[in-house]
Amino acid sequence: MPEAIDAVAEGFAALSDGRATVPVRASVPLRDGAVALAMPASLAGGPYYSVKVVTVASGNATRGLPAVLASVALGDAATGTLLALIDGTSLTALRTGAGGGVAARALARKDASVLALFGAGVQARTQLLAAAAVRKLRDARVVGRDARRVARFVEWARGEASLAGVAVGASDAGAALAGADIVVTATSSSTPVFDGRGLGQGVHVTAVGAFTPEMRELDDATLRGARIFVDQRAAALAEAGELQGLTSGDVVEIGEVLAGRLLGRRDGDERTVFKSVGNAIQDLVVASRVYERARELGLGEDVRFP
């Protein structure tokens, strides 16, 4: 996770510098409300390009499948040759968590130690790992609609070596928000998952679940008076339900903060919100590291097409 956080930070800076080419993703509807999305990316002067195809099907929980499934094709930017096909489900969770880690490292108070986490799926796991990688957490409160999933999540967290010293337990929304320094939402909800009036001063909020104008995890009270940061203006303003009606002047790209062009958190009492709809530059920079590491370690299977 720490390496993925560093890679995504570099990717976000490149995105805001204009060195990354990332079209707004194409989307097609599938059955039963599911959706498929195509997300290409390249980096000026970089050795690779990537294309991710991701599907989101909220009904997969009843099928014993992850809600998010994906594949990433990584290719040579000079020749166009396909170099690798990577499991995009794990990669998406890793890079999305890393994005939350980048935001927490840049925007959360240095002494942040209490996390309120809404969601108990794969995305929530990597968000917790990322937050713990950049801040010394002592308490993580997990809120979810399915008590059994929350229980499985807590059991997983208590066995995770990188979370040693973090007290992870189930909670309800109100108790989770009380005294929380960082709040993360990683759900497929179409309506706000908590009442923003319960947030304390100086809290940092990361929302990664909603990715269409019809979805939103955060209410108006959460956004009111907050400084709002995004992964990419065009995509976030077009796709995030929470940001409908806002303009480019109302949000800051996290890459602009990482590059030192704009300030992040200005004081300990300020509320910061990072709204991410996911960006293909995250897939590219993390997939590149995965590919290079796999080659170094001799992992994977060589495939030659007829």
Helix axes 280-297, 88-107, angle to 10 degrees: 110
Q: In sequence order, which ranges of 42-161 are alpha helices (DSSP H)? A: 88-107, 122-134, 147-158
Is residue 142 within 8 Å of 171, Cβ to Cβ?
yes
Longest Cα–Cα distance in the chain: 61
Report yes or no: 229 and 252 within 8 Å, Cβ to Cβ: yes
Which alpha helices (DSSP H) does the chain contain, by range? Answer: 2-17, 88-107, 122-134, 147-158, 173-177, 220-223, 233-239, 254-258, 280-297
Q: Is 139 left (phi over 0), alpha (psi -120 to 50) or beta?
A: beta
52 given a catalytic annotation: yes
Strand partners, 115: 140, 182
- Residues known to be catalytic: 52
